[in-house]
Amino acid sequence: MPPETPPDPEAVKFTAGTAHLQGRLFAPNGAPERAILINAATGVRAAFYAPFAAWLAQEQQAAVLTWDYRDFGASGQPHGSRATMTDWGVHDASAARAFLRGRFPDLPLLVVGHSLGGMALPFQTGLQDMARVIAIAAGPVRVRDHPWPFRAQAWALWHLAGPLAGAFMDHLPGRRLGLGNDLPLPVFRQWKRWCTRPGSLPADPDMPPPERPGLTCPVNLVALDDDVMIPPANVWKLADWMPKAQTRRTLLRPADHGLGTVGHIAAFAPRNRALWPAILA
């Protein structure tokens, strides 16, 4: 018999304070055995993760939630937005987790956090209800940590292109600057602080302190060996913000999977699906 067609994802809505967020809930054939939340990277729409979410639903027998941060993607427009990185990584992500937990209160809860989606996780509250975390390409980084020539591109974004655009526009034109999608200006400005000042997120007065004891579940820190935006050494530093978690390191080498360049974003692209079992391992 041919395989059963998976159900279409369900459009869902939930709130984070006064913000209205949009997502899609992917379901397996049959009853789900676990719930998985996907927290996106900065500037990456939830739709990008749809093939990975569909694969998780079927291969992991999971209910999988993808969703967009406030004033971004399906959750609104960045033009004139006052949304910050704290809103995205702490408040919105906490609301998404609460929504998924509310829908599936009896299932093990896993979080897949990509870049910002993993890096901001230790600053949320109520982290004790998670069964497992996979943080991929997530960690504190400063300009000097990038290899050349990307280091020059990062410096130009933080000190030239970004501030210049912000002086004349009510948003950051991310599409024109090679960031994928437009961003709210406050998101860009807080992101810049994290990447250009000592201390990163813990030193930011606009961020809450990491929760204590914080994460205590198994956490897999996943790095790509060709990621110039957050190199592996910076991914490993994320463990410092979750001292009670059971952390381990996974270094993915695209060549080992018959792949070319993957970098910071493309691990979740369908063309690189050969990496997906290793991400979940």
Q: Residue 268, Cβ neighbours under 10 Å: how many?
A: 26
Please name which of 57, 95, 14 lies closest in space to residue 276, comparing C-alpha atoms. 57
Amino acid 1: pLDDT? 42
Amino acid 2: pLDDT? 46
The pTM for the full model equals 0.96
Question: For every one of its 281 residues, what pLDDT tens digit does the chain have, with 9 covering 90 and above?
Answer: 445 678 899 999 999 999 999 999 999 999 999 999 999 999 999 999 999 999 999 999 999 999 999 999 999 999 999 999 999 999 999 999 999 999 999 999 999 999 999 999 999 999 988 999 999 999 999 999 999 999 999 999 999 999 998 889 999 988 888 778 999 999 999 999 999 999 999 999 999 998 888 999 999 999 999 999 999 999 999 999 999 999 999 999 999 999 999 999 999 999 999 999 999 98
**Contact yes or no for 190/84 (Cβ under 8 A):** yes
**Contact yes or no for 218/248 (Cβ under 8 A):** yes
Assigned CATH for 10-280: 3.40.50.1820
Spans of all domains in the chain:
10-280
